[in-house]
Structure 1
Amino acid sequence: MDKTLQWLKEITEAPGISGFEDKIKELLVKKLDGKAELSTDKIGSVIFKKNGAKSGPKIMLASHMDEIGFMVKNVTKDGYLKFLTIGGWWEQVMLGQRVTVMTSKGAIPGVVGSKPPHILTPDERKKVVQKKDMYIDIGATDENEAKKTFGVRPGDAVVPYSEFTVMANEKLLMAKAWDNRVGCAIMADVLEAMNSELHPNTVYGVGTVQEEVGLRGATTSAGAVDPDLAFAVDTCVAGDTPGVSEDQAPAKLGKGIAITFYDASMIPHTKLRDFVINLAEENNIPYQLAFTEGGGTDAGRIHVHAKGVPSLVLSIPTRYIHSHNSIIHRDDYDAAVRLLVTIMKKLDFQKYEELLR
């Protein structure tokens, strides 16, 4: 396993649901130690500043650290955990999946359960089990053991369990939390690359918090950075699986970084979009155009900060987003790093002023 794969394994397997992103922050701080100036906003987003050769525009690379997960709501008398969903979950991908409960006494395993189909009526079997009818089984004999012995209490974070896996096609990588640990990993790689590249601007790499529950860290970190330009580095739905048509999700694994021309939270700055497309073509960096009709990214908040921030979303096509196991393509990851490094080298104040005309 090469250095990049080791990095991706570490950052995807780490726990970090919305509001509990500290472990991801620690990994980013460790990776970028001594390579960028460190600061934070007041709700947990981490900001890495990399000065360039000139005092050009302030460019914000935003990647959210949080993953979707659950939170303990209460413990039943029989020792089962009822839970809240943190972020967008679809019931059909939840049942029977392993989770990790982050208790005051350490991490403990569990599994999402419900009434078994063997004892359901024929009509009940045809219906999707609702979240409210599910629970988490941690193997406790009763409420007292769950709380006193295992250390579970309401408000504890519950994280999907999945091991990072290189698939039979070694370019395909399966893990939990690609949304959006892949963006965090790309952001960190770009800032590392800036150590050996001249760039005429100030780059801010930002790991934002609580994107999955309302783009909250994007709002506060944009206030801290006050950027001139912004790029959200995130994931998008891969449309290369059975039953998905081109007009639902055009992006495909292995075809390059996806440049988003529309999502539900933002119509990107068209001159910035075209500038990035031209750079990709001039430098033979594989890219594809994508849209997202439902959902948005941190750029949805950043682009309306203060007087407005020209913004664009660059996404990694990802299969099975918002589940325990999602898949990306290594080539798309590499293309994203190459394109962002190229953008940072070209975006000076002259180009910035041209984009605003």
Structure 2
Amino acid sequence: MKEKTIELLKTLTETPGVSGFEAPIRKVLKDYLSPLATELTTDHLGSLVAVRKGNDEEPKIMVAAHMDEVGFLVTSISNNGFIRFQPLGGWWEQVLLAQRVEILTRKGRLIGVIGAKSPHILSAEERAKPVKIKTMFIDIGSTNKEETEQAGVKQGDPVVPFSTFHLCKNGKSFMARALDDRVGCALVVELFQELQDVHHQGTVYGVMTVQEEVGLRGATTSVDVVQPDLALVVDVSVATDTPGIGDTDVAVRTQLGKGPVIGFYDASMIPHTPFRDLVVRVAEENNIPFQVDVMPGGGTDAGKIHLFRQGVPSVVIGIPVRYIHDHTGIAHLDDYQSALRLLVALARVIDGSELEKLKDNL
């Protein structure tokens, strides 16, 4: 199972799919889900909806993860052949300089590097100031604009970080780009694999949303397709177990290898309390380790899903990841497997009577 999980994570994290340009990753996810789903559809923005029917039609449980990754968009080409770009999603400028990227042109993929001045020619003033994205550029080795254009680069081309999957020496941690949120997509795929042999009453909708990183847009449309009774959003959480993060910098501590996180608060949603308590109880009853997450400065697709129509009770289950929105993040297989166990256990437990209890306990 570990080998299959690693291969799945490698495939998903190395497949491009920045916000608004998710076609490559959507195709891969379709290939994985087609043999597992009762139905498989796509909404008009491109979010993928896989259906796994249980013994009863209801409750309808939406398990959502976003397929898009942070990246860039080509905006212009200078006379010297350098490429200006617009970020897609949230980037901290200082993680970008001298990093390699991949431009997805109509002629094929091109490797470039985000240029940086050599320290030998930096003034004292420049050394003291952070470099802004608006002054950055991508260099593909061209000497003029014509060479860049002949290579296939055009305005509007998507750009992804260039980074490959790597299993760490301990055999448990792994490095990759786009863990936010391909790790969630992988969990939905493996959940559907597990449900082939698991008795569950409700209908599970595995939803891979688009454009989460630019405003939770895919969640806004796909929730209308599903019209769920409950929603579990599978995303990542900022691991705070690295140097330089003090106790006053974060509300709670989360770390690799200690279990998935259950979101108790974020900037886009306060979870439905009875549903949150059910998730906690199921984890405890099944001896599944978990951590609590409080994220004042961010949100997930649940921020849109829980506001659909009269409201959808929603909870976020996250995988702790170091270095989110960077070229390379680090996560832990134990957290991943525990999250999968929790999702399977919830699918088994949630039925019509459990749904009524949640409604009655508001």
Coarse TM-score class (shorter-chain normalised):
over 0.9
Give distance in 1, aligned partners of 2:57 and 2:156: 45
Match of 1:297 among 297, 300, 304: 300
Match of 1:106 among 105, 108, 111: 108
CA contact (8 A) 1:239 1:251 kept: yes
- Determine whether 1:338 maps to 2:341: yes
CA contact (8 A) 1:258 1:288 kept: yes
Give distance in 2, aligned partners of 1:281 and 1:82: 50
CA positional deviation for 1:123:
1.5
Aligned to 1:268: 271
Letter of the structure 2 residue corresponding to residue 192 of structure 1: Q
Aligned to 1:93: 95
CA contact (8 A) 1:263 1:291 kept: yes
Trace 1:98-177 onto structure 2 (pairs within 5 A).
98-147=100-149, 149-177=150-178
Letter of the structure 1 residue corresponding to residue 200 of structure 2: H
Give distance in 2, aligned partners of 1:71 and 1:182: 24
Query: Is 188-197 or 301-310 further displaced after alignment?
Result: 188-197
CA positional deviation for 1:34:
2.2
Match of 1:39 among 38, 41, 61: 41
Give distance in 1, aligned partners of 2:273 and 2:161: 37
Secondary structure of the residue that 2:213 maps to in structure 1?
coil
Structure 2: stretches of 5+ with no match in the other structure: none
Give distance in 2, aligned partners of 1:278 and 1:350: 16
CA positional deviation for 1:246:
4.4
Secondary structure of the residue that 1:111 maps to in structure 2?
strand
Letter of the structure 2 residue corresponding to residue 285 of structure 1: I
CA contact (8 A) 1:17 1:66 kept: yes
TM-score, normalized by length of structure 1? 0.98
Give distance in 2, aligned partners of 1:106 and 1:6: 24
Query: Is 82-91 or 247-256 further displaced after alignment?
Result: 247-256
Aligned to 2:27: 26
Query: Is 1-10 or 307-316 further displaced after alignment?
Result: 1-10
Letter of the structure 2 residue corresponding to residue 159 of structure 1: V
In the superposition, relative to structure 1, how do residues 174 and 108 fare at CA in structure 2: closer, same or farther (>3 Å)?
A: same
Give distance in 2, aligned partners of 1:87 and 1:233: 18
Give distance in 1, aligned partners of 2:192 and 2:314: 19
Query: Is 24-33 or 223-232 further displaced after alignment?
Result: 24-33
Secondary structure of the residue that 1:2 maps to in structure 2?
helix
Q: In the TM superposition, what whole-angstrom CA distance separates every residue of 1:283-311 from its partner, at most 9, and x where no partner exists?
A: 01111111111010000000000110000
Letter of the structure 2 residue corresponding to residue 56 of structure 1: E
Aligned to 1:245: 246
Across the aligned residues of Structure 1 and Structure 2, the Cα RMSD in angstroms comes to 1.0
CA positional deviation for 1:53:
1.1
Aligned to 1:192: 193
Give distance in 2, aligned partners of 1:237 and 1:160: 19
Match of 2:259 among 256, 269, 283: 256
Aligned length: 356
Letter of the structure 2 residue corresponding to residue 125 of structure 1: R
Secondary structure of the residue that 2:253 maps to in structure 1?
coil
Give distance in 2, aligned partners of 1:29 and 1:286: 31
- Determine whether 1:214 maps to 2:215: yes
Give distance in 1, aligned partners of 2:57 and 2:165: 40
Aligned to 1:81: 83
Match of 1:69 among 60, 68, 71: 71
Q: In the TM superposition, what whole-angstrom CA distance separates every residue of 1:236-275 from its partner, at most 9, and x where no partner exists?
A: 1001111223451411100001001000000000100110
CA positional deviation for 1:114:
3.0
Secondary structure of the residue that 1:56 maps to in structure 2?
coil
Percent sequence identity is 52
TM-score, normalized by length of structure 2? 0.97
Secondary structure of the residue that 1:162 maps to in structure 2?
coil
